[in-house]
Each structure stands twice: as structure tokens, then as C-alpha cells.
Amino acid sequence: MGTGILVLVETDGGVPRKTATELIAKATALGLGPVSAAVIGPVDASSLGGVKVYQVESAQLAHYSTGATVKALQALVAAADPAVVLAPASLNSKDALPRLAVRLGAGLAVEVTDLRAEGGQLVGKRPIYAGKALVDVKVAGLGIFTVRPNSFPGGVAPAGSAQIVAVDAGITAADVDTELVEVLAPASKAVDLTEADRIVSGGRSLKSKESFDAVVRPLAAAAKATVGASRAAVDAGYAGHGDQVGQTGKVVNPSLYIALGISGAIQHLAGMRTSRVIVSVNKDPEAPIFQYTTYGIVGDLFEIAPLLQKELAAH
């Protein structure tokens, strides 16, 4: 087995996503040996600090495809030879990393929300049963851990400039097993829900798309937050499918989650329960969401949301 921690860096237009520095900083603080990074495609490594960056570049990797990506990751892990691989719990990770784990004979711990070193080994904490319980996970041999975005604050990589090591993964057109038909840009320029540090979500109680737009979106703008929604709100057409938080929507992990008129069904909680601070507005004092709420406001959201918006806009 190898040594140290390899962090898989995801990029957006060649710029490392926020999760890259979150994971590199945490990996460094764990003190479990050398920290290196792995990246597919072009990267501006200036924000990654002094870590060694293993990089695979290929025209076949211009767009995500499972076969080519897993082959590239396999070559990157072989080059770095780590004891642990850390990756963001992203959509692509969900697709590629179980296959990578099988190919490498590695153990896989997904959706981890905390990491610690114990006896020279990495221990991950992850929610199970839709967030009802937390378990510690250790992996014997090579371990791959996917970590929810925003699990670690700060995200400042160690000082120094990255040293890039080019890796040849031998990728050919035959490895590209999907065809890209079209890329649909999201309507909003806000930070993606899964990485958002602040979220304002609305539920069925908003009653119409017009009032969702008039109440939830301005509050989100004032809070510099991304808009989310319950499934009931999405099914009713108040918000898009990409905005749904929960078991069949997106799992989010912000430092602030404001829930407006959301009851707190188990399927919604499964997607947002690990949020650091939860503020709930509900006119029913018995609403289940209050059991998981840091600051609860019993009241009519149509009165409370504008007050919150005014306060937030003043700061």
C-alpha cells in the first residue's frame, strides 16, 4: 500500500473548485503523510499551494465520460500511490468512484462529513439512514473517501507553488463511452446548490410560482444565497427540478440553510440535515423541522421573510 493522501481536484474552466482547497487544507492538517493532488484536464494550479499535482490531459477528456474518466483516475492513483484518496461528493464522483474502487480493489466511504486521524489511520464520519445516525468508517488497505462540500471551513491550501507531474493514461477514443449532445447552462448564475455556503429554500406553502419568485428569491439575493425548494414546491412548478433538496433531490451542506414553510419530512431532512445553522419559518409550532432547527420562527412566512430580507440587506 502507498503513503499519504491524494486529493481529486475538480475544475470549472480550468479553475479548481472550492472543494479542492477545502480537501487539500484538511488533508494537510490530518498529518497522515504527504498530500498530493490529481486533476483531469487543464488546471490553473496557483491556488493549490505547494502540493505535487498529478495531471492527465487528453482531448478525449474534454467532456465527462465514465470510461475515459475512470481510466484517467486509475492512472493518476497508480502514479501517486497514496494510502487514501479524498474526493468531493459530487455528481461525477458518484458515477466514477465506485467503478474506480472496484478496479483498484479499494474500499469506498461516501458522503463523509468529517475526517480525523486515529492511530495513523484515517477515520471518516458519515450519515446513514437518511441522516438519522452517524457512523465512523475506516478502510483496510487503499481507501477512497468522498466528502460533502463545505464540510471543512476556510479552504486555504498550504503556501508554495504546485509542481505538475504529467501522467499518460493512454486514453483513446474507444474509452469515451458516451456522446455529448448538448450542454444546458443553468438559468441562474448562483453557486451550485451542492457547493453553496448559504441556501434559502421554499416549500409548498408558497402557494404559487409568482409568490415563490416574489418571496424566496429576493430573500436569497439579500442573503447572498442559492435558492432551493422542497419536492412539493418543485412538483407544483414553483421551482426547477435542479433546485430540489432532499433524498431524491440534491444533498446540501451549507453553513446557513433557511427553510421557509417546509414541514421537515424525512426525505427533505435527508438532503439538508447536516447544514451547520438551520433557520426555519413555519406557522405550525409542531412542524417536525423545528426538531432540527438552530433558530426557529413560528409565524407566517409572508410576514417574516420580508423582515429577514430587510435585515439581511442592511448588512
Ligand X SMILES: Cc1cc2nc3c(=O)[nH]c(=O)nc-3n(C[C@H](O)[C@H](O)[C@H](O)COP(=O)(O)OP(=O)(O)OC[C@H]3O[C@@H](n4cnc5c(N)ncnc54)[C@H](O)[C@@H]3O)c2cc1C
Sites of contact with ligand X (CB under 6 A)? 203-205, 230-233, 244-249, 261-263, 265, 267-268, 271, 281-284, 287, 300-302
Q: How far is the CB of 149 from ligand X (least distance, A)?
A: 18
Q: How far is the CB of 146 from ligand X (least distance, A)?
A: 19
In the complex with ligand X, which residue's Cβ is closer, 109 or 215?
215
Q: How far is the CB of 294 from ligand X (least distance, A)?
A: 17
Q: How far is the CB of 191 from ligand X (least distance, A)?
A: 20
Q: How far is the CB of 259 from ligand X (least distance, A)?
A: 8
In the complex with ligand X, which residue's Cβ is closer, 19 or 263?
263
Residues contacting residue 54 through CB under 8 Å, at least 6 positions apart:
6, 36, 37, 38, 39, 76, 79, 80, 165, 167
In the complex with ligand X, which residue's Cβ is closer, 138 or 310?
310
**C-alpha–C-alpha distance, residues 259 and 292, integer Å:** 11
Are residues 82 and 117 in contact, defined by beta-carbon separation less than 8 angstroms?
A: no
In the complex with ligand X, which residue's Cβ is closer, 17 or 207?
207
Q: How far is the CB of 249 from ligand X (least distance, A)?
A: 4
In the complex with ligand X, which residue's Cβ is closer, 4 or 299?
299
In the complex with ligand X, which residue's Cβ is closer, 51 or 279?
279
Q: How far is the CB of 119 from ligand X (least distance, A)?
A: 38
In the complex with ligand X, which residue's Cβ is closer, 55 or 201?
201
Q: How far is the CB of 282 from ligand X (least distance, A)?
A: 4
In the complex with ligand X, which residue's Cβ is closer, 136 or 284?
284
**Residue at shortest CB range from ligand X:** 246
